[in-house]
Amino acid sequence: MSAMTMTERILARHAGKERVKPGENVWVDTDILMTHDVCGPGTIGIFKQHFGKDAKVWDREKVVIIPDHYIFTRDEKANRNVDTLRKFVAEQDIKYFYDVGTPAYKGVCHIALPEEGHTRPGEVLFGTDSHTCTAGAFGEFATGIGNTDAGFIMGTGKLWVKVPPTLRFVFHGNLPPYLMAKDLILAVIGDIGCDGATYCAMEFDGEAVYALGIEERMTLCNMVIEAGGKNGVIAPDQVTLDYVNARNAGQRPYTVVKSDPGARFLSERVYDVAKLEPIVAKPHSPDNKAAVSEVKGTRLDRAYIGSCTGGKMTDFRAAAAILKGQTVKIDTFVVPATSEIAQGLKTERLNGQTLEAVFLAAGAQIGQPSCAACLGGPSDTFGRLNAPLKCISTTNRNFPGRMGHKEAQVFLASPLTVAASALTGTITDPRDCL
C-alpha cells in the first residue's frame, strides 16, 4: 500500500478505504460538527428545509453548539440568533451547548472545543467557521465548511470531501524568547501568499514545533486558512496526548494517526527559527509581511490582545511579561478567549501579581470572553474599531472593515509585539522590552 500523509490517512479511515490520494472525492464520516451564533441559524434552516421541520440530527452527542461571536451586545438581530440556537437545542436535546448567560458558557469556539474535550487525534471535525482548522494541532482533520454542508452533516453525519495534497513546513532550531508561533505562521503566509496553500493541507514539523506548548501549536494551525489552506495538522506527541486525555469528552477512544515514512508532499519549506525576526502583517492582508524592525516607529491608536489566535493563556503570559510595572500609551483591549482563560487571568500570578491585575495596572481594559472585535460586530462590541484607527492586534485577519471601520488599519502581530507596541504607541520590537 502506498505511503500516505497524515491528512490522507485520516480521511481514508473515515471513508472506509485502504487508501486515498489527493484530488480524490470520498464520503467522509464526521466525528464532530460545530456551529455557532453567526452560522448556526442558517445551518439549522437548511437542515430543516431539506430533512423536514421535525427531523432529528444524526447524533445529538456529536453536534456541538457554541455561541461566541456577537453575544455581549444589545443588537436585536444578534440576540435573536442566540435564541434560535436555544430553541433548536431544546428541540433536538443537544448534549453539548455552551449557552451565554449560563455556567456552561465558554467563549470562542476554537478554544472551547479542546478545553471541553471535543478534539481528539485521528478524528474528523467540521465547523461553520473558517478557523476550525485550529484543531489540527491535536492531530485531526479539522476544517471550516459552509452552512449548506453543515446542514447536510446534521442530517447524515457525512460529507463529500476532496482529498487535499499536503504542504510540509519544517521549523528547526531553538525558538528565541522574542518569537512566538504567531511570528512563525506570519512568516509562512508572507512567503507563500494568501493563496499559496489553496485547498492544501499544511503539515508542521521540526523540533521547534514540538518545543511549543499545545496553545502555540493551535496558533500555527489556526492561521492556515489565511494562506488558503484546507486544514493544518501537527502529528500528536505526548504533549498532545496529555492534554487530550485530561479533557476527552465522554472518554471516547481515538486512534493516533501520523504521516507514513515516504509519504509524498506537494512541497516542503524548511526554516531555521534562530534566523527569524518578529513579524507583522501590514494592512490590508495577512500576507503583507514585514519584519518589525522594518516598520518600527509606525504610529498606532490602539492595541488588541485576544481572539482564537491570540487570546489564550500562553498569549497573556507573554503580554503580561512585557506590561508588568509599565503603563500603556494607547487604548489597549484584553479579551480572554474563554471563561476558563478569564478565570486563569484572575488566579495565575506573575511575581506575586495576578495577570488580570498586571493588565489593569498597566491601563488595559479587559473584556468578557468572546470573539469581541475580531470580526467587527455591532457598534457596541467591546474593542471594535468604530473610527479609522490604526490598531496592532493578535487577531488573524486585517482586511478592510474586519475589525469594524472600513478605513481602519490593522497590523497583525504576536502578543509580545502587541504588548511592546502598547507601551510606546508605535510599532515596537519586543527585543527592546525583554
Give kind and range of the element (H or E) at residue 431. none
Task: Give how many domains the chain has, as a whole number.
Answer: 2
Residues 315 and 195 in one domain: no
* 153 lies in some domain: yes
Residues 173 and 243 in one domain: yes
* 393 lies in some domain: yes
Radius of gyration for the chain, computed over Cα atoms and rounded to the nearest angstrom:
21
CATH number reported for the structural domain that contains residue 116 in this entry:
3.30.499.10
Altogether, the residues listed in the chain come to a count of 434
pTM of the model: 0.97
Residues 223 and 186 in one domain: yes
Q: What is the pLDDT of residues 230-260, one digit of tens each?
A: 999 999 999 999 999 999 998 999 999 999 9
* 260 lies in some domain: no
The neighbour count for residue 161, using CB atoms within 10 Å, is 23
Domain final position from 224, 245, 270: 270
* 89 lies in some domain: yes
What region, left, alpha or beta, does residue 297 occupy, with left being phi > 0 and alpha being psi -120 to 50 degrees?
A: left
For residue 2, the model assigns a pLDDT of: 86
* 22 lies in some domain: yes
**For every one of its 434 residues, what pLDDT tens digit does the chain have, with 9 covering 90 and above?**
589 999 999 999 999 999 999 999 999 999 999 999 999 999 999 999 999 999 999 999 999 999 999 999 999 999 999 999 999 999 999 999 999 999 999 999 999 999 999 999 999 999 999 999 999 999 999 999 999 999 999 999 999 999 999 999 999 999 999 999 999 999 999 999 999 999 999 999 999 999 999 999 999 999 999 999 999 999 999 999 999 999 999 899 999 999 999 999 999 999 999 999 999 999 999 999 999 999 999 999 999 999 999 999 999 999 999 999 999 999 999 999 999 999 999 999 999 999 999 999 999 999 999 999 999 999 999 999 999 999 999 999 999 999 999 999 999 999 999 999 999 999 999 999 98
The secondary structure of 213-240 as a DSSP string is -HHHHHHHHHGGGGGT-SEEEE---HHH
Residues 18 and 129 in one domain: yes
What is the rounded (10 degree) CA torsion for 215, 217, 221, 227?
Answer: 110
Q: What is the pLDDT of residues 251-301, one digit of tens each?
A: 999 999 999 999 999 999 999 999 999 999 999 999 999 999 999 999 999
Residues 410 and 296 in one domain: yes
Identify the three-state secondary structure at position 409.
strand
Q: Is residue 67 within 8 Å of residue 39, measured between CB atoms? A: no
* 1 lies in some domain: no
Q: Is residue 374 within 8 Å of residue 395, measured between CB atoms? A: yes
- Closest CA relative to residue 335, chosen from 364, 363, 361, 376: 364
Residues 139 and 40 in one domain: yes
Domain final position from 213, 243, 270: 270
Q: Is residue 409 within 8 Å of residue 390, measured between CB atoms? A: yes
Residues 19 and 167 in one domain: yes
The amino acid that residue 309 corresponds to is T
- Closest CA relative to residue 191, chosen from 215, 210, 167, 175: 167
How far is Cα 29 from Cα 160, in angstroms, rounded to an integer?
Answer: 9
Give kind and range of the element (H or E) at residue 410. strand 409-412
Name residue 180's beta-bridge partners: none
Residues 286 and 350 in one domain: yes
Q: Residue 255 to residues 103, 215, 241, 246, 310: CA-CA distances in angstroms?
A: 32, 21, 11, 16, 29
Cell numbers for 358:
498586571
How far is Cα 420 from Cα 418, in angstroms, rounded to an integer?
Answer: 6
Residues 225 and 331 in one domain: no
Residue numbers of the domain that contains 402: 280-432
* 258 lies in some domain: no
* 325 lies in some domain: yes
Domain final position from 243, 270, 297: 270
Residues 336 and 388 in one domain: yes
Residue 278 is classified by DSSP as: -
Residue 192 is classified by DSSP as: H
Residues 242 and 300 in one domain: no
Q: Is residue 369 within 8 Å of residue 107, measured between CB atoms? A: yes
Residues 316 and 215 in one domain: no
